[in-house]
Amino acid sequence: MIRTNRIFPNNQAQDQKIAGIFENINKDFLNLLKNDLLKPKPLLVCSGGTSSRCAAEGHWTLDLRGNYQKVEFNKATQEITIEAGVNMQQLLEKALTFNRSFPIGLSGKTGIGYILTGGISPLSRKYGLAIDNILELSGVWGNGEHFRLLKPNNDTNTQDKLKWKGLCGAAPFLAIVTSIRLKTYKLKPIYAWETSLSPSQLAEIILMAENWSNSASLYWVWGNKIKVYGVYELDNLEDFDNYKRLINEIPKSNDFISYKVDNISEIGNLLSSNIINKPFDTQHSEVVGLLGPKLNNRIDLMIRHIEKAIKVRPSEYSYISCQQLGGATIKKGIDLSSFIHRDSIWKPWITGSWNSADIQGRESSIKWIEESWEGLKSFFPGIHLAQLHPHLNWHSKEIKTAFKMWLPELKELKSNYDPKGILPPL
């Protein structure tokens, strides 16, 4: 069935005059894919609808939120299977019912786009990226053929390994994933803290965080001020002393608070005090996510670059944030995913924002993102493709930087499994 009315959480997606919406992957829909009848291409896919690229002017969207809502927990294996319309909050709530957890990101509103594009969680330093926790994937390739793949082992043939690698981190270019089976983890106590810091204090805490245990992770956002957040998952009761020691050592200001959260989804509420979650219906934005290794003695220089970028940001809703990886994200799944920048321990992202009616403001913001990216490139040479930008002139640069040496093989996969370019271009 085709619908034209819809509500996407992303303002920019919501404001597009789209061709229409498909809600089912049925025989008719598959026929359109197989016979290349869908015009214009690419088809856009919406799971959580939080990115600007789940709907675009004049294009069709396959919206999976209505009809792909199944979520099942297997008590024997402690694994969870979700369909593609289930968001991260729903996934976590199901796991919590069984005293289990999953490394979701900073927002429970994101859909499986979060998992498929990598999935960096405040718990990733312990449990890996979301893609590292996938056990099974099902869906439909861009060529209309169904697939079901299990996480490769030593007996898996090379082609299936390549397909898996492509889907874990680059699925939006190859396939429509309809169902994912995932590992879960024992629910453990989590503490969080937040404080405002000066640029030199931020430099100080970044240096400390580069040597923290995998139980701790740092997140900061630099907009009107610098707000810093920390998350610490306790392994056992004795670990609380380690948390207290960390808290004593870090720089802080008068607004410092520390508290226990019931689960990782409450971390998203940490953001409520800054601009990210405020419902600016008229505000559009684009985001570019960078990746980089330990900064060591280059932290001060990096901070000066960000300070310079923030001074010239085009709007007060434009900002630069950063979350921490490392630990398990470095060791796990190197050959099994398209997330190739495994040496990364920082993911800064640059958000350029403008009023939806302000065409000049859009141009300035896009230019600011590009210039800020250029300024930070030597510190953070990789790209995390959590958002796609085929509509912007940096798309090709972004793709090359995200996939590097893996790109030729990824393109070959695309020519086999999405030969007509039904899905976004690589």
Interface with ligand FAD (CB under 6 A): 44-51, 53-54, 64, 84, 105-107, 110-114, 116-120, 171-172, 175-177, 276, 323, 386-388
DSSP secondary structure of 16-55: S--SEEE----HHHHHHHHTT--SSSPPEEESS--STTSS
Q: Which of 261, 275, 387 is nearest to 321 (CA)?
A: 275
Report the DSSP pairing between strands 44-46 and 2-3. Answer: unpaired
Q: Which of 108, 137, 105 is nearest to 324 (CA)?
A: 105
User: Shortest distance, CB of residue 142 to ligand FAD, whole angstroms?
Assistant: 10
Is 91 or 204 the residue whose CB approaches ligand FAD more closely?
91
User: Shortest distance, CB of residue 52 to ligand FAD, whole angstroms?
Assistant: 7
User: Shortest distance, CB of residue 117 to ligand FAD, whole angstroms?
Assistant: 5
Is 51 or 337 the residue whose CB approaches ligand FAD more closely?
51
User: Shortest distance, CB of residue 141 to ligand FAD, whole angstroms?
Assistant: 11
Q: In whole angstroms, what is the distance from residue 269 CA to residue 122 CA?
A: 13
| Residue type present at position 81 | T
Is 242 or 330 the residue whose CB approaches ligand FAD more closely?
330
Do 121 and 184 form a contact (C-beta atoms < 8 A)? no
User: Shortest distance, CB of residue 365 to ligand FAD, whole angstroms?
Assistant: 17
Degrees (nearest 5) of the Cα angle 7, 12, 13?
45
Q: What tokens appear for 207 in the block?
A: 């240096």
Is 79 or 418 the residue whose CB approaches ligand FAD more closely?
418
3-state secondary structure of 114: helix
DSSP 263: S
Is 108 or 361 the residue whose CB approaches ligand FAD more closely?
108
Is 252 or 275 the residue whose CB approaches ligand FAD more closely?
275
User: Shortest distance, CB of residue 176 to ligand FAD, whole angstroms?
Assistant: 5
